[in-house]
A and B are shown apart, each in its own frame.
Chain A
């Protein structure tokens, strides 16, 4: 049986790899579809913030685009995100969106907490330095409660602990006698 099983498994794997190679091109990745925009005034710069989902829900990922008037070629900038509780996330440079290279953006990023988030932009360009911010309301997360999801995820760990505990009790006398 093993003699037949292993070559079969090897052939199946080889077919999978070939399929992956054939489908693994940039064209296979979803385009960025903006369904809602907001305007931010950052000093002299008008910035259009695009969202691929609207309204936003906690933990649900989406594409963000940040497009300054006149394009991004002669500008640099940073984005700092403040959570609903006011805590600041690490400031990050505004970078080209991986699937929409002509604008800045965040690809499939989620905001993990419900509440009012703040995006703070700082932009440097030919007209000098400018700062502005956008408040974004994030609604309740969809799907099951997070506690339930984590409970389901830890089942393999609980099973492993139960197995090790059972094996521990079964081997106590043998471990002692080996000593």
Chain B
């Protein structure tokens, strides 16, 4: 009880969002690197679009050579400003670059993304991303003060996302949004169903309750990962490595839980599978009764409270 209360007082996890349904969802925050990647992709796309129109205008002869640079800059400007807002509005918080990098804008408070938020965060992008970028391109040593100011601005724009937990840039802060990795749902088979309790393995290896009191959820899930990895196709050298690991783990588990019967090498996987089932059933049962065991140190950490 005491432990639980202390936990609730801690700050919520950075990668967590509270939707209106009240069940917190884990959404991993996208780092600065992947966002810069998406930004570069977007710049290339808009620049390509501007370039195409630019060449069209030149081909039509609608301009004279003196104005070309200004018109090119103008086109880039006119294309990129609506591009970000409209694409994020249509694709629910994703520009083409973000789709490419599988990241997405979400509302900070768990509600839906509003038009206002999308407009604001992308208008600020103009001051935050493009202004420093043009400043870098136009730096010259004839105007040292302006160059220094430009560099300070660039440093600030890059530092702000690194200084907060949500990797928000200034526009994100104003709009109340942040950027996450899009989660990919993949449903793997249930290990416990593949070899249910009544099967052959469970009859051959049985565990007593005190033998199951040594490990917690973390160890169980590590074992789950190992069992799943073993099931996949692998090269011969991986196979022998895996076999050695499994043998070592079987030995460790046997010694820890005091399982006296020897386990012959062909039965190693079956033993671990049976142990996984028994351990999971045991831990889940304990959890139902309010005894949540995070890892094998659950006994000592309880005494600390």
A and B associate in one complex = no
Could you list which residues of chain B lie within 8 angstroms of chain A, going by C-beta atoms? none
